[in-house]
Structure 1
């Protein structure tokens, strides 16, 4: 007679195989690709796929390919409708603030602006003028540039034409050519800087956050005052900002 431990291990192994086949099938429609990616025997893959189709988690067949079934899509829709980035990102932001002792923001793209959805302060006596719900321009802010860096050139040009790239300070980028160059730098290094471009005396380093669609739709910034972090010294927090943004992306189902 099989021991309870052995039976539990057998069930656990079967569950792992089923979840693996489901995951791979949602990303690779062809039966041969699913077999290759999972490394499981064809007969096992075929049996698991049949079970997943019967339960509504997958739809399709070996000839037409596989995709999410009605039950899976209904569950996914319910989960995505309840996604609250403020709740999801809060623990990551709290940990980042403890590491860098600077104010940390998370913002979401809304039209031609970024809107703050999180602001968590450091232990320092000064406070940023930002607030949750405040909308800020894209081209003059670190978070905005972190998002725009992943736009195609025609979308960047359209933004520039539509808004006119208004100056917020003497340091704001107001020329399309310079903006393109700045965004190319962001793509290359993986983070953006705001050195007094949106508000005099305020600096930040920002990183992009992607959502479950793979789109960069949010940004995270580590902010301080220029008196404490003169020049580009805020850049020292770039690795922590990028790591935190990547973790939030992971929690959102993103790919960064």
Structure 2
């Protein structure tokens, strides 16, 4: 009697597409049209439209006057349930950091192979700012946020040299790796939480601000780590 091939894991294709759609919308600050989403998902526009309609009905997405879809309020509410103690401790520090440096400050955590923003604080000033949203996902292998999260963990076999360097320095500084024309500096927050380290990520369009932010960002990460301890 022959050995049968293993069956693929069961699941809902529609649900998976809906969650992918939500991630794509969250990662696009200016929103997406149904046509753009269909192209990203590789589906017909009618399928994308049905997914978007369902997300709007559940308040996970909103549709503006230009037929672009953005993250809705209920997604923000869900994000608030992610590591609430960490968010509570970090928010005040992030607000102070954002106002001091006049740049967008984020709290990021690891989710599989991505650095996900769970708190975003923009500066109170009216100057230029980088638009970033709760739920934004950046790859772990590039960009300051992902590198800082990897550096916050123990050394791993075969890890990139830049991760080891960031672990030694206490921060990662990158330019244009995720979004062209932007600069970011991130530092790991060390916690005993089973989900692993978190991080502060500061994003700006100005190189001078990013370079000047290294000391304040690392100090802020150390402050949060101490409070959590």
TM bracket (short chain): 0.5 to 0.7
Whole-Å Cα distance in 1 between the matches of residues 194 and 172 of structure 2? 19
In angstroms, what is the RMSD of aligned CA positions? 2.4
Question: Partner of 2:164 in structure 1?
Answer: 184
Whole-Å Cα distance in 1 between the matches of residues 196 and 155 of structure 2? 12
How far does residue 83 in structure 1 lie from its aligned partner after superposition? 4.2
For structure 2, the 5+ residue unaligned runs are 1-81
183 and 246 in structure 1: CA distance in 2 versus 1, 3 angstrom threshold: same
Whole-Å Cα distance in 2 between the matches of residues 82 and 102 of structure 1? 24
Alignment deviations for residues 28-69 of structure 1 (CA, whole Å, 9 cap, x no partner):
xxxxxxxxxxxxxxxxxxxxxxxxxxxxxxxxxxxxxxxxxx
248 and 155 in structure 1: CA distance in 2 versus 1, 3 angstrom threshold: farther
For structure 1, the 5+ residue unaligned runs are 1-80, 157-179
SS for the counterpart of 1:153 is: coil
Q: How many residues in Structure 1 have an aligned counterpart in Structure 2?
A: 146
1 or 2, which has the higher helix percentage?
A: 1
Contact 2:102-2:129 within 8 A present in 1 as well = no
Contact 1:105-1:119 within 8 A present in 2 as well = yes
Question: Partner of 1:237 in structure 2?
Answer: 213
Taking structure 1 as the reference length, the TM-score comes to 0.52
Whole-Å Cα distance in 2 between the matches of residues 207 and 118 of structure 1? 15
Taking structure 2 as the reference length, the TM-score comes to 0.57
Task: Identify which of 115, 127, 130 aligns with 1:128.
Answer: 130
Alignment deviations for residues 147-198 of structure 1 (CA, whole Å, 9 cap, x no partner):
2123432374xxxxxxxxxxxxxxxxxxxxxxx2211221221100121111
Contact 1:209-1:216 within 8 A present in 2 as well = no
Radius of gyration: which is bigger? 1
Alignment deviations for residues 212-239 of structure 1 (CA, whole Å, 9 cap, x no partner):
35985111022110xx326xx6222111
